[in-house]
Amino acid sequence: MISKKGCVVLLSGGLDSTTTAAIAIDEGFRCHALTFDYGQRNRWEIRSATEVANRLGIEDHRILKIDLRTIGGSALTSDNPVPKLRDLHGTATDIPITYVPARNTIFLSAALGLAEVVEASDIFIGVNSIDYSGYPDCRPEFINAFQKVANLATKAAVQGGVKFKIHTPLISLSKSQIIRKGLSLGVDYSLTRSCYDPGQNGEACGECDACQLRLRAFRNVGMVDPIRYLPKHPAR
Amino acid sequence: MISKKGCVVLLSGGLDSTTTAAIAIDEGFRCHALTFDYGQRNRWEIRSATEVANRLGIEDHRILKIDLRTIGGSALTSDNPVPKLRDLHGTATDIPITYVPARNTIFLSAALGLAEVVEASDIFIGVNSIDYSGYPDCRPEFINAFQKVANLATKAAVQGGVKFKIHTPLISLSKSQIIRKGLSLGVDYSLTRSCYDPGQNGEACGECDACQLRLRAFRNVGMVDPIRYLPKHPAR
């Protein structure tokens, strides 16, 4: 039996990272999943990530605690309100307040550290073209620059000759295309969560950017989003 | 009164980062100091960083918790023994087991996030030519690559036109030169700690790489290291 090549997948338990993990598995990788407990408002994310990892048969799932509230600067790590029903047709100069300063740089850095420890050279991150329009650290030029850092920063690269690669299989896909891809791979989206500001029992709010994008994408695919929404916002 | 320009300084409470903070202050910056509680063996580091920040008059000192034990892979974040009395004449292919995978990438990423939040464009890190010989993430090419990432990753750079600069004032200095520089700026090295494996009351072991480098540098400067060492290793 040939042992599979390992990779590290950043797994938030959201729609994008779950699909990304399924793609990595479909490409023949053995996944080491990394989830961050970064003081985010949505504490349900971590539970979703665990359920997703279990369902996908990922044996090594690590939850890394980093308290980004120490840094602050985002609606997602503070008690400031999350914006609702915002215009989604943002441009590159219209970065939402849900932006977390340097988040993907921090997450990729830790993924790089884990990759080095588990002797993997491939890192998967679910950035995509929708995020691209709002978040600077979801753009291909950022990913390329980070890949250069990875290949200069590590013992594995400098001493071991490893060439790190950052995989972004969703980067040019729309949310609807991501869902179609995931469905074709058997992803169970009922386990995933996207809401920035869920209700007491984890129900999605239906109003934040993440919910709106998700609801619209499921409508475009012609199916009902299988997760639970607060009563006033049924998934239709 | 002209308000000073802010900067972020990575402050471990060691000899290098303390000197770096003193240099940033001497250059006219108002420092935001960032210390990591990353599960390191040397719990005294964090206390030293606090004492140093107080002594330097740094008003904003943040201690960011990130549990790098989740990732592992280093003698500094595990219960494996720290190497003692190792040959210090290492080359670039001789990376010590005290290397922490991707540590400076992770630390600089968080510093970048903080810089964005406090609206600073300057980040100081005390990497130097001694570390350079052993750790890949202390080399100028790594720092330059990270600076490129910083200027692609952030809202401040992409939307605000900020140009981030990573300052490495120690990068071409020897440990003795660093100490001479610090002394000229009034640094009190008795507050600093460098040991990887201190005794119960925080005394330096005198045997690990960090202690050996430090002791040799103070000898070269012609002074006795003012910190406490375990009885069998007096600082001479």
Residues in chain B closer than 8 A to A114 (CB atoms): 71, 101
Report the alpha-carbon angle B107-B113-B114, nearest 5. 90
Domain contains A120:
yes
β-bridge partners, B192:
none
Regions in chain A scoring below 70 on pLDDT: 1-2, 75, 78-97, 129-133, 233-236
Interface mutation target, options B35, B109, B123, B162, chain A, most CBs of A under 10 Å: B109
DSSP B29: E
pLDDT tens string B173-190? 999 999 999 999 999 999
Nearest-CA distance from A139 to chain B in Å?
Answer: 8
Local confidence band at B92 (pLDDT 50, 70, 90 cut-offs): very low
Domain contains A224:
no
Q: How far apart are CA B209 and CA B59, in angstroms?
A: 32
Domain CATH number, residue B81: 3.40.50.620
Q: How far apart are CA B189 and CA B15, in angstroms?
A: 7
Domain contains B144:
yes
Domain contains A150:
yes
Are residues B101 and A64, on separate chains, in Cβ contact within 8 Å? no
Provide the percentage of residues in chain B whose pLDDT is more than 70. Answer: 86
Closest of A63, A68, A9, A51 to residue A191, by C-alpha: A51
Q: A184 Cβ partners below 8 Å, 6+ apart?
A: none
Q: How far apart are CA B138 and CA B99, in angstroms?
A: 11
Q: How far apart are CA A83 and CA A197, in angstroms?
A: 10
Domain contains B208:
no
End-to-end CA, chain A? 47
pLDDT tens string A80-118? 666 565 444 444 345 666 778 899 999 999 999 999 999
Are residues B72 and A149, on separate chains, in Cβ contact within 8 Å? no
DSSP B71: T
DSSP B100: -
Q: How far apart are CA A28 and CA B144, in angstroms?
A: 35
Nearest-CA distance from B163 to chain A in Å?
Answer: 14
Residue B229, both tokens: 């060492």
Are residues A136 and B157, on separate chains, in Cβ contact within 8 Å? yes
Q: How far apart are CA B17 and CA A26, in angstroms?
A: 45
Residue B33, both tokens: 């100091």
Residues in chain A closer than 8 A to B105 (CB atoms): 109, 112-113, 149-150, 153
When pLDDT is averaged across residues B59-75 and rounded to a whole number, the result is 89
* pLDDT at res. B4: 87
Does the beta carbon of B76 lie under 8 angstroms from any beta carbon of chain A?
no
* pLDDT at res. B133: 60
**Please, are residues B174 and A190 in contact by the beta-carbon 8 Å criterion?**
no
Does the beta carbon of B228 lie under 8 angstroms from any beta carbon of chain A?
no
**Please, are residues B95 and B134 in contact by the beta-carbon 8 Å criterion?**
yes
Of A88-92, B191-195, B197-201, where does mean pLDDT reach its minimum?
A88-92
Burial class of residue A79, CB neighbours in 10 A (0-12, 13-18, 19+) = exposed
Residues in chain A closer than 8 A to B73 (CB atoms): 113, 116-117
Closest of A135, A103, A144 to residue A213, by C-alpha: A135
Domain contains B142:
yes
Are residues A154 and B103, on separate chains, in Cβ contact within 8 Å? no
Nearest-CA distance from A186 to chain B in Å?
Answer: 30
Segment holding B166, helix H or strand E: strand B165-167
Residue B87: pLDDT over 50: no
Q: What is the value of pTM for the model shown? A: 0.90
Report DSSP letters for A135-195, one per residue.
Answer: -GGGSHHHHHHHHHHHHHH-HHHHTT----EEE-TTTT--HHHHHHHHHHTT--GGG----
Domain contains B231:
no
**Please, are residues B65 and B46 in contact by the beta-carbon 8 Å criterion?**
no
Interface mutation target, options B123, B155, B159, B166, chain A, most CBs of A under 10 Å: B155
**Please, are residues B82 and B75 in contact by the beta-carbon 8 Å criterion?**
yes
Interface mutation target, options B37, B149, B151, chain A, most CBs of A under 10 Å: B149
Nearest-CA distance from B181 to chain A in Å?
Answer: 27
Please tell me which of the candidates B70, B108, B116 has its beta carbon nearest to residue A64. B70
Domain contains B60:
yes
The mean of the pLDDT values for chain B is 88
Nearest-CA distance from A23 to chain B in Å?
Answer: 23
- Residues, chain A: 236
* pLDDT at res. B88: 44
Interface mutation target, options A62, A143, A149, A159, chain B, most CBs of B under 10 Å: A149
Angular region, B57: left φ>0, alpha ψ -120 to 50, beta rest: left
End-to-end CA, chain B? 47
Q: How far apart are CA B65 and CA B87, in angstroms?
A: 33
Query: Chain B residue closest to A62 (CA)?
Result: B70
* pLDDT at res. A146: 98
* pLDDT at res. A181: 98
Residue A232, both tokens: 């006033």
Q: Is the dihedral of CA A22, A27, A28, A29 positive or negative?
A: negative
Characterize the bridge pairing of strands A29-37 and B122-124: unpaired
Helix (H, G, I), strand (E, B) or coil at B64: strand
Count how many domains chain A has.
Answer: 1
Are residues B102 and A154, on separate chains, in Cβ contact within 8 Å? yes
Instruction: Identify the domain containing residue B48 by its residue range.
Output: 5-193
- Look up residue B207 and give its amino acid: E
ipTM of the complex: 0.89
Local confidence band at B100 (pLDDT 50, 70, 90 cut-offs): confident
pLDDT tens string B105-136? 999 999 999 999 999 999 999 998 665 567 88
* pLDDT at res. A82: 62
Nearest-CA distance from A150 to chain B in Å?
Answer: 8
Query: Chain B residue closest to A108 (CA)?
Result: B106
Q: B59 Cβ partners below 8 Å, 6+ apart?
A: none
* pLDDT at res. A210: 87
When pLDDT is averaged across residues B193-202 and rounded to a whole number, the result is 88
Q: How far apart are CA A13 and CA A63, in angstroms?
A: 12
Closest of A215, A155, A163 to residue A189, by C-alpha: A215
Residue A8, both tokens: 């590290």
